[in-house]
Structure 1
Amino acid sequence: MRRADRLFQIVQYLRGRRLTTARQLAEWLEVSERTIYRDVADLIASGTPIEGEAGVGYRLAADYDLPPLMFSYDEIEALVAGIRMTQAWGSPALKKAAEMAQAKIASALPKDKRIVLERTPLFAPDYFIDKLVGERLDVIREAIRTHEILTLDYADMRGIPSHRDIRPLACAFWGGTWSVAAWCELRVGFRAFRLDRIRALTRSGRRFADEPGKTWADYQRLMEAEINSGEAHRSDAAPGKAA
């Protein structure tokens, strides 16, 4: 990669994140941290408003902007693949948003790249996907945004039913099924619920506040700790185990 391209990429990475370390930039760009330190110093010297310091992390001033970017052919195919997978496996609202995003991207591309966008031979068939899962996903996404407790009638992997009140925290796609990571009021702990095993989903109208030990950040820390300790494979140990 030419140095000019690398400097440009550094700015792009910094634009999309609140804080980025030199180590992260070095890994992404496949150079040494010393090279990143020099590049960032040169960008600052040229007037790029980068804040932060070596050993802590860098960020770009919020009001800094660059001219519109042009996508490479690989980037276009990556976008198309993501959009088509979202259209197939996402919710009705996400499908509509993906279609609008593709239209906006197409309008900004020159003719030759717009043709690539339209003819990319990467597909995500949806004829066998349960549409009810997507509808549930929209309800859960809204509940995550508004911090609303949801009530589930759920069946576990053995078909045993249960009634749960959950605090939805995040959704994850596992290449065939969605799950919602949540704090389960019944089990008084973190659980992951597969959307295709939810028999009924009700919005309670009750809001929950973030509490220490019950947040998405807490869930992530527990998962990371158990992965590092080698316990995450144990279904009775993982905080995100399927309910």
Structure 2
Amino acid sequence: MAERRKPMQAQDKLAFLLALVPYLMDRDRVSVAEAAEHFGVEKAQLRDAVRLIAVSGIPGETNQYQPGDLFDIAWDDFEENDQIVLTHQVAIDDSPRFSAREAAALIAGLQYLSALPENADRDVIGSLMAKLARGASAAPSQVAVAGSETDETLAVIRDAVAAGTQLDFDYLNSRGERERRRVDPLRIESIDQDWYLRGWDHLRTAIRTFRLDRIDDLRATDEPITYRPGDVTLPETLFEGTPDDLLVQIEVSASAIPLIIDYIPDGAPRDERDGRVRTSVRVAHYHGLKRLVAGLSGVLTVLDPPEARRVVAEWARAGAERYQ
């Protein structure tokens, strides 16, 4: 014979109702049976609690209850299908919420995280995105983050870093030269949407940084790495200068200096005037300026040498012509 649960005391009922409201708000739809099992109560008790919620609320400015001052549910669904769907919420709606733009930005970030190999098929990320969409002050814009072409490359490199094995690949450097490299992978880092591999380059016999979208014909090997992270010193900055770098004079907004600090040589003069700074950056090739300028459009201006200005101007003109 099934054991009957003891009737709830008044204090228990209040705690039950306080827990039930956010539970229902957190779900678009839930069955009476599922909710009753979650709280360990009889289905009849759960139904009574839902009916009580539906006549609860906060009086408006007239201190009298109006239809919009009460919780409401989808009654047909409740009575006919034993399903609970909150169609109107009060009181808690007055708490601060993300704006539609804020929620859309967060959802885009979560979509990017879910696209990474280590986060694939994680239901918790999908659940969080749904909560953000429901909890925003207005419906967020529909956003989608496309999978990157480097996703597969990133997965192979992560496995090699974890296993401590060498990688073999073709690499296209900033000067357009392609070489076969054998590398001890030591660290993976990202800047904005770009991913970089840092490791010991056996061809250069030095620490080098490789951008993943320039890696081709990647092969994982069974050869153990020669140098481990504790054996070498990885520079604090992602980009290290070389004697072959080219110096380019630029003018940039003072607030954007932290964004390009890795490109500014140590000791480079900075002349600040009216919120603008004139200084120099180092690049491996003038064509490398394209991405830098594109990321700071309207903020950074190339001043000198003329060849650098010409390369950037031609690139910008070619891009503009595609829209004509």
Scaled by the length of structure 2, the TM-score of the pair is 0.38
- If asked which structure has higher relative contact order (CA below 8 Å, sep 6+), I would say 1
Question: Please, what TM-score do these two structures have when normalized by structure 1?
Answer: 0.48
**Which structure is higher in helix share?**
1
* Bigger Rg over Cα: 2
